[in-house]
């Protein structure tokens, strides 16, 4: 199915879910059932969808260091069929877990370092809090990564974006932020995940980003930004409006 290529996925689920009122969002139940008739969690839905792509052979889930919400809880949040093999079997990918770091970038770096032992050619990196991703987007991301080496799905902005500066004085008012630039909506989009990359290159980019982060305290917002700084151009494909990220409790309603 992969024509000899190995494709992996990293699911980012190491955050504390502080804006969810202390409840780990990836472990929350959804109004959906798995193949065994059990309620799917957010994380379970994500892993099930990635497993539905027959081209994914390894999935690495980043988990919190805190034991009460770490690997054991992540395992409990998955359908049992994903925990019964240490290699791809009967179309089910191997599922691995790795402790996250103090930032999303560090967590992804940990996952990529673990994956290096499995020699994937490409990797998709996805937010564990986006349970409504569909197989079509995953497949299109893989196809674009095979062609362009780096790809990010985007959706158009509905509202007009503004670039905001730091505090300044405006017409006698002090300590207010001001609009630095009036951006053209047609030239700006919202990035989604999964973002797809050639594996050796994105691992190299994360290693370079880690060094710059240590030296200069740079904060990277996503993997496409890291690729763009250390590897080059990132292709864009159409994302999905349904592929929303859970941030607050009302996002599950």
Residue-wise pLDDT for 128-174, tens only, equals 999 999 999 999 999 999 999 999 999 999 999 999 987 665 656 66
Q: What confidence category does residue 90 fall into, taking pLDDT thresholds of 50, 70 and 90?
A: confident
Question: 3-state DSSP call for residue 57?
Answer: strand
Residues 230-236: what's their mean pLDDT?
A: 98
Query: CB burial class (10 A; 0-12, 13-18, 19+) of residue 50?
Result: buried
Q: How confident is the model at residue 4 (pLDDT cuts 50, 70, 90)?
A: confident
pLDDT reported for residue 31: 87
Question: How much is the pLDDT for 170?
Answer: 60
Domain parsing of the chain, residue ranges: 7-159+189-248
The rounded distance, in Å, linking the Cα atoms of 56 and 134 is 14
Looking at residue 177, its pLDDT comes to: 81
Phi, psi of 247 (to 5 degrees): -125, -45
Give mean pLDDT, residues 206-228: 96
Its CATH class, for the domain covering 7-159+189-248, is: alpha beta
* From 22-26, 62-66, 225-229, the region with the lowest mean pLDDT: 22-26
Q: How many residues does the chain have?
A: 253
- Full-model pTM: 0.93
97, 71 Cβ separation under 8 angstroms: yes
């Amino acid at each position: 199915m992969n024509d000899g290529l190995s494709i992996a996925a990293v699911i980012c689920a190491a955050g504390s879910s502080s804006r969810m009122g202390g409840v780990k969002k990836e472990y929350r139940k959804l109004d959906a059932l798995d193949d065994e008739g059990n309620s799917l969690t957010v994380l379970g839905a994500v892993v099930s969808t990635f497993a539905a792509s027959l081209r994914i052979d390894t999935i690495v889930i980043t988990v919190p260091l805190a034991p009460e919400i770490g690997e054991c809880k992540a395992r409990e949040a998955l359908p049992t069929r994903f925990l019964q093999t240490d290699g791809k079997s009967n179309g089910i990918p191997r599922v691995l877990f790795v402790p996250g770091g103090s930032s999303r970038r560090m967590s992804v770096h940990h996952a990529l370092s673990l994956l290096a032992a499995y020699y994937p050619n490409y990797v998709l990196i996805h937010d564990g809090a986006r349970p409504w991703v569909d197989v079509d987007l995953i497949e299109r991301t893989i196809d674009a990564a095979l062609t362009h080496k780096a790809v990010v799905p985007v959706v158009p902005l509905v509202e007009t974006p503004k670039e905001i500066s730091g505090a300044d004085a405006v017409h006698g008012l002090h300590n207010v932020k001001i609009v630095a630039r009036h951006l053209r909506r047609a030239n700006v989009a919202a990035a989604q995940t999964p973002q797809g990359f050639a594996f050796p290159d994105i691992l190299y980019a994360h290693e370079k980003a880690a060094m710059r982060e240590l030296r200069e305290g740079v904060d990277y917002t996503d993997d496409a930004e890291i690729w763009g700084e250390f590897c080059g151009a990132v292709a864009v494909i159409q994302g999905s409006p349904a592929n929303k990220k859970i941030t607050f409790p009302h996002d599950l309603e």
